Structure 1
């Protein structure tokens, strides 16, 4: 007997395909606008994320203005130049060849923030791990990313900028924590592998090296 709340094989396959096909997109954004109905579905997916104490600490800032995009790109450029100096020799040279944002090209940007005091100083589930509201907001970011991919939208997370610049440009109050700045828009295609993997920056780690049994670092014994 199949319950009404069960997923079919095709539905399961679509979810796993979406996860595997998600990419951090930084290039080849098309000028086509994101329809309001599509954006509403993507934001609703973010709002459906799990949150500690059902806090729902997130806010979503939608940016379409070319002027605001340019200001954010300037902030990125300053931070990116600083970041390039942190790497050595060949690594620094490779870093400077990477395309790490699409702030001016993407039709819209999304800034996801965390309002940590939304439910007062004591929050169910945050009593012993105070950062759980931050993690909850990151879950909203992941939901947005996957929903966007299902809508055939590219998403790129831009983390190379000073948070003080981000706060100033988007008028984010001091008590609100910026979590993610995302470039969002239709693209001319999705790569089969991550950009940084193709560029030789890093390779995907084998899953079996990351799974332990019972305690950290312990491997499953052969035949068990």
Structure 2
């Protein structure tokens, strides 16, 4: 059997990108060179997809006014989320949850129309289209970290309102507002952990053997 493993240095780079990837909220303007953006989109396009349906669409937002409109949608949802959080609402409002007006590039990741015709792998698990799009986003995230760029996934928005703003077909669905660009530094730990909002759980609590809950 031939050895298909990467070299030690190559493996270390892959694991470093995974370990140091962060959901970034703080950006410092600048720009993303066209060839770098092309590489990141190609990385996303290399993601696995159920039935090879490739259910990812990326919309690049180039107009500042449209950026501001998306920011307004996110701000509206941020306030509604704070209300829904009850006693934690004030703490939530102190968190920085997006970098829409600060990042170099703004992308919308969406599921396309016509997804129902794809049955392979989705007959009992139709949400696998979303899983495939998430893999594409993660590919881009890791590639961005390797390029020294920050990326943040914003999910605070009304999907119907954003779809209308972007003139999307009726059965298409926006999933993520992606902020991308240079950052002054990467968080040493996940931002929500640094801010005391939540603590990550150890892996051993999340891996079972043979039956649910059996560690």
The TM-score normalised by the length of structure 2 is: 0.95
Note the aligned Cα RMSD (angstroms).
Answer: 1.5
Check if 1:25 corresponds to 2:24: yes
Q: Which residue of 1 aligns with 2:117?
A: 121
Superposition deviation, residue 131 in structure 1: 1.4
Quote the Cα distance in structure 1 between the aligned partners of 2:41 and 2:211.
38
Judge which range, 128-137 or 11-20, deviates more. Answer: 128-137
Change (3 A) 1:115 1:9: same
Superposition deviation, residue 88 in structure 1: 2.4
- CA deviation digits over 1:107-142, x for unaligned, max 9? 111111112525x62432222211111211111111
Q: Which residue of 1 aligns with 2:150?
A: 154
Structure 1 counterpart of 2:101, from 87, 101, 104: 104
Residue 84 of structure 2 aligns to a residue whose secondary structure is coil
The TM-score normalised by the length of structure 1 is: 0.91
Q: Which residue of 2 aligns with 1:143?
A: 139
Query: Which ranges in structure 2 are unaligned for 5 or more consecutive residues?
Result: none
- CA deviation digits over 1:164-189, x for unaligned, max 9? 22112222111212121101111111
Check if 1:210 corresponds to 2:206: yes
Size of the aligned set, in residue pairs, is 215
Query: Which ranges in structure 1 are unaligned for 5 or more consecutive residues?
Result: 220-224
Contact 1:106 1:184 survives alignment (8 Å): yes
- CA deviation digits over 1:82-128, x for unaligned, max 9? 11111222x2221110000011111111111112525x624322222
Q: Which residue of 2 aligns with 1:46?
A: 44
Structure 1 counterpart of 2:35, from 31, 34, 37: 37
Q: Which has the larger radius of gyration?
A: 1
Check if 1:194 corresponds to 2:190: yes
Quote the Cα distance in structure 2 between the aligned partners of 1:181 and 1:113.
9
Residue 166 of structure 1 aligns to a residue whose secondary structure is helix
